[in-house]
Amino acid sequence: MTEYATLAGGCFWCTEAVFKDVIGVESVESGYIGGHVPDPTYKQVCGGDTGHAEAIRVGYDPDQLRYADLLDIFFATHDPTQLNRQGNDVGTQYRSAIFPADEAQETEARAAIERAGETGGKIVTTIEPMTTWYPAEGYHQDYWETSGRSNPYCMAVIPPKLQKLRKSFAARSRAVSV
C-alpha cells in the first residue's frame, strides 16, 4: 500500500531527481503547496506572491522505506539551515518544509528535525499543515530525465545531490544497488 510524503526543499527539479533514485520510492510528482492562490502557475509561484512552496509528493512503499528514513534523506540532500532559499534560489517558494499527512508523520517530522539538528547548524525547516496539492505543469515532471541534463543550473546542482545520496545512503540508492 503506497503512502505519501510531501516535502519542500528548494527547487523541485532537484528534490525530484534525488528521490527518483531512492529504493522504495514508487512515484515523485513536482507541484505546489502551502499557498493562498488556487491552481497557481509556475510563473506565479516563482514570483513569490502566492505563498506556495515548490515541493514534491513522494509515493513510497512503507515495507521498503520508512518515513523516518525518507526524512533523513531529505535533510541530507538539501540545506535545512537556509531560510527561504537553497543556494541561489531565494524566496519563500524555496523554503524547507514538511507537510505531514497525519499526526504520525508530524511526530516523525519533529524527530527528524531533531536528528538533523544534531549535526550542527540551526534547522529552519518548518512543519506546515497539509493543504491543497497542485501538480506542477507537465514539463516539470521527470525534469532531470527529460530536460535537466541540458539545463546548466541543473547540471551544477543535481549531480552533487545525487552523489551525496549515493555516498551517504548507498543501500537506498537505485544507481548504487544495480
pLDDT at 121: 85
- The strand order across the sheet containing 3-9 reads 126-127, 96-98, 3-9, 53-60, 25-33, 134-135
Q: Could you give the CA distance from residue 45 to residue 29 in angstroms, rounded to a whole number?
A: 16
Q: Does position 132 have pLDDT exceeding 90, yes or no?
A: yes
For residue 103, give Cα distances in angstroms to 70, 75, 99, 100, 107: 17, 20, 11, 7, 6
pLDDT at residue 120 greater than cutoff 80: no
Per-residue pLDDT of 17-69, as tens digits, reads 999 999 999 999 999 999 999 999 999 999 999 999 999 999 999 999 999 99
154 part of the active site: no
Exactly one of 11, 14, 46, 154 is catalytic; name it: 11
